Amino acid sequence: MIYIGSHISASKGYEAMGRQALKLGADTFAFFTRNPRGGKAKAMDEADVSRFLALAEEHSFGKLVAHAPYTMNACAAKEDIRRFARETMEDDLARMEYTPGNYYNFHPGSHVGQGSEAGIEMIAEILNEVLKPEQTTTVLLETMAGKGSEVGRSFEELQEILKRVKLKEKMGVCFDTCHVWDAGYDIVNDLDGVLDKFDTVIGLENLKAIHMNDSMNPFASHKDRHEKIGRGQIGLEAMKQIINHPKLQGRPVILETPNDDAGWAEEIALLKSLHSG
C-alpha cells in the first residue's frame, strides 16, 4: 500500500484541494501553507476544513505533506530572516492542527557561508522553540541536493539536526528522490544500500514521506532540477523499485515534477499501475 499525489494549489481552500486531488486520481497531496515566496497565510475557514476532513476520511486519504515556503531559511545569517522563519513555522504549525496528524515539510536552510555546523545549530534552535508537546503534526526535514550552502545534503547532516531536537517524536524526514540522487546517493543502482545507509544513520522509521521526482542532472551533480517521471537521469525502473520497496510501504509519495494537472494525473496513474499490491 502506498499513497500517491502531487502538489495542489491552496488558493481555493481545503475542500477544493481534496476535490482536485480526487480529480487527479490522488489519495494524498502536498500544498504550500502560504505563498511559496513567503507572505501572509490566509485565515482558516473551519467549515471548509471540516468538509475537507469528511472528504479525506470518505476516500481514505493518506497523510498530507504540507510544504513550508521554500524561501524560509532557518539558518540565515541575518537575524530578521531567522525570526521570519520561526514565526512562519509557528503560525503554520498552529494552522496545521486544524487538520490533525499530518506532515509539515521544510527545507532545512542554507547556511550562507556560516558553515554547516552553525547552520545545524540554528535550525535545531528554531525547532526547539516552535515544537509543542501537544501538537499532532510531524515536522519533516527534507533531504537536500546540496546546491550552494544547503544544509541537509547528507543523511548525517539531517541526523545532526534531529539529535539536537528535544521533541524528537515530533520530527521525521522527507526523502526527495531528485535531491538524494543529486546529493550522491545511488538510488538507481543501489537502492537497498541507500536505504540501509538511511536506516543506520537516521532510522527508516523516521522516513515519513517521499518526494518523487526525476532529475535533469547526473548522479552527484548537486543541482536540484526536477524532471518528469521517467524522463530524467533516474528513470522509471528506479522509481518502480522505490514505490514497491517493502521498507517504504504506507508512505505518502508526492510528485513535484514540472507538469500541469493533466501531466500529474498521468504520472499518478502511471505510478499506481507500477505499484504491485
Footprint on this chain of Fe ion (rule: CB under 5 A): 142, 176, 211, 256
Confirm whether 179 is a catalytic residue.
Answer: yes
Cβ 231 to Zn ion shortest distance, Å: 16
Smaller CB distance to Zn ion: residue 150 or 224?
224
For Zn ion (CB under 5 A), the number of binding residues is 1
Calculate the CA dihedral of residues 15, 131, 88, 43 and round it to 10 degrees: 40
Q: Which does 211 bind (CB under 5 to 8 A by kind): Zn ion, Fe ion, none?
A: Fe ion
Burial 167-194 (b: 16+ CB within 10 A, else e): eeebbbbbbbbbbbbbbebebbeebeeb
The single residue of 7, 67, 82, 251 carrying the catalytic annotation is: 67
Interaction pattern, residues 213-252, with Zn ion; x per rule: CB under 5 A:
-----------x----------------------------
Smaller CB distance to Zn ion: residue 160 or 224?
224
Under the criterion CB under 5 A, does residue 142 sit at the interface with Zn ion? Answer: no
User: Quick one: cell of 245?
Assistant: 520497496
The single residue of 15, 142, 150, 182 carrying the catalytic annotation is: 142
User: Quick one: cell of 125?
Assistant: 534552535
Smaller CB distance to Zn ion: residue 214 or 224?
224
Nearest to 180 by CA among 238, 110, 139, 138: 238
User: Quick one: cell of 7?
Assistant: 502538489
Confirm whether 46 is a catalytic residue.
Answer: no
Confirm whether 157 is a catalytic residue.
Answer: no
Say which residue the cell 548525517 belongs to. Answer: 156
Cβ 134 to Fe ion shortest distance, Å: 27
Confirm whether 224 is a catalytic residue.
Answer: yes
Q: Which does 92 bind (CB under 5 to 8 A by kind): Zn ion, Fe ion, none?
A: none
Distance CA 271, CA 132 (A): 36
Cβ 277 to Fe ion shortest distance, Å: 26
Who contacts 91 (Cβ-Cβ below 8 Å, separation ≥6)? 41
Nearest to 147 by CA among 187, 182, 105: 182
Cβ atoms 226, 217 nearer than 8 A: no
User: Quick one: cell of 272?
Assistant: 499506481
Confirm whether 87 is a catalytic residue.
Answer: no
Q: What is the CA radius of gyration of the chain?
A: 18
Q: Which does 27 bind (CB under 5 to 8 A by kind): Fe ion, Zn ion, none?
A: none
Confirm whether 211 is a catalytic residue.
Answer: yes
Confirm whether 245 is a catalytic residue.
Answer: no
Confirm whether 103 is a catalytic residue.
Answer: no
Confirm whether 111 is a catalytic residue.
Answer: no
Cβ 43 to Zn ion shortest distance, Å: 30
Under the criterion CB under 5 A, does residue 150 sit at the interface with Zn ion? Answer: no
100: left (phi over 0), alpha (psi -120 to 50) or beta: beta
Say which residue the cell 499530518 belongs to. Answer: 102
Smaller CB distance to Fe ion: residue 150 or 176?
176
CA distances for 90 relative to 65, 96, 129, angstroms: 17, 10, 9
Catalytically active residues are 37, 67, 70, 107, 142, 176, 179, 211, 224, 226, 256
Which residues of this protein are in contact with Zn ion, per CB under 5 A?
A: 224
